Amino acid sequence: MAPAPRSDPQQAGKAGAAGSRLAPLWQGLRRTPALVTAMAVLGLALMGSSALLVKGLRTAKDTITVTGASTERIRSDFADWSLLLSQGGDSQQQAYRALLPLVQQTRAFLLVHGLQADELKLGSVSADREDIRDPRTGELRQTRWTSRQTLVISSADVDKVNRLAGEIPALIGEGVPLVINEPAYTYSKLAEKRVDMLAKATKDARNRAQAIAAQADSSIGAITNADTGTFQLTAPNSTDASNSGSYDTRTIEKDITAVMAVTFRVN
């Protein structure tokens, strides 16, 4: 039987010293599960209380943005209208002389049918030359001149202009070479009307915001921002709209629509 190995006193001493140094570490590890559990419980409790605080807190940044609109029927109070007369001739002088009686005939027609003299102006006379050449040789065969003059009508009596625009084609039946442009009907107090329409659009936006906030048991506070949208002036009951705004001049009566995007503070 082999003799039992003898222990080395120096090695035993080293092992004992290492054990004493590791003892606190082992004790800490045995306490770690309890410490982790306690910290986890504490963390959950803090999270729960924080959630309750956030849920009940309303910050100063709580806002709502609503679009309001206002539409009204307006009536144009001014009309601009123009007529173009033209006449040709073999020379510039001949064309101009042929044009003059046509201008006088048209002017007389308008004055007899109710237009005031100060509502009618004669535009400048223009003349165009046309050289007619042989298509094969390019040789000049004839020169023709065309003289033109515009009659400009401006009146606050929009109904009279509208009536005259329907009666003036009778001159064409008499041989007068007229180009009849469409009258343009406008509203001269548009700047003042815009202020009123924006106020009404803002009021409409507030009413809408209050209705929305009421569903969340909240109320509406001060305005924090307001963006003016486009103005649409359209024919009555028209659905036409443009991102840059529109201004219909074809009808005497128009619908004006203002749009506002308004941001309110939520209380």
How many Å is the Cα radius of gyration of the chain? 45
At residue 97, the pLDDT reads: 96
Q: Minimal CA–CA distance to 264: which of 211, 197, 194?
A: 211
SS (H, E, C) 142-201: EEEEEEEEEEEEEECCHHHHHHHHHHCHHHHHCCCCEEECCCEEECCCHHHHHHHHHHHH
Q: 63-75+188-266 — its CATH code?
A: 3.30.110.170
Judge contact between 68 and 260, C-beta under 8 A.
yes
CA atoms within 13 A on the CB side of 170: 11
Q: Minimal CA–CA distance to 66: which of 203, 198, 194, 241?
A: 203
Question: In this structure, how many other beta carbons lie within 10 angstroms of the beta carbon of residue 127?
Answer: 14
At residue 105, the pLDDT reads: 97
| Kind and range of the H or E run holding 20 | helix 9-55
Cα four-point dihedral sign 24, 26, 27, 31: positive
Pick the CATH number of 78-185 from 3.30.1310.10, 3.30.360.10, 3.50.50.60, 3.30.70.2970: 3.30.70.2970
Q: Where along the chain do its domains lie? A: 21-57, 63-75+188-266, 78-185
CA atoms within 13 A on the CB side of 187: 22
At residue 17, the pLDDT reads: 46
SS3 label, residue 100: helix
pTM: 0.70
Between CA 220 and CA 41 the distance in angstroms is: 41
Judge contact between 60 and 245, C-beta under 8 A.
no
Judge contact between 194 and 233, C-beta under 8 A.
no
- Bridge partners, 152 (sequence order): 82, 121
SS3 label, residue 34: helix
Number of helices and strands in the chain (H, E): 5, 9
Between CA 11 and CA 31 the distance in angstroms is: 31
At residue 27, the pLDDT reads: 52
Amino acid at 34: A
10-residue stretch averages of pLDDT, the chain, 267 residues long: 47 46 46 43 39 37 90 97 96 96 97 97 94 87 94 98 97 95 96 92 95 91 90 91 89 95 94
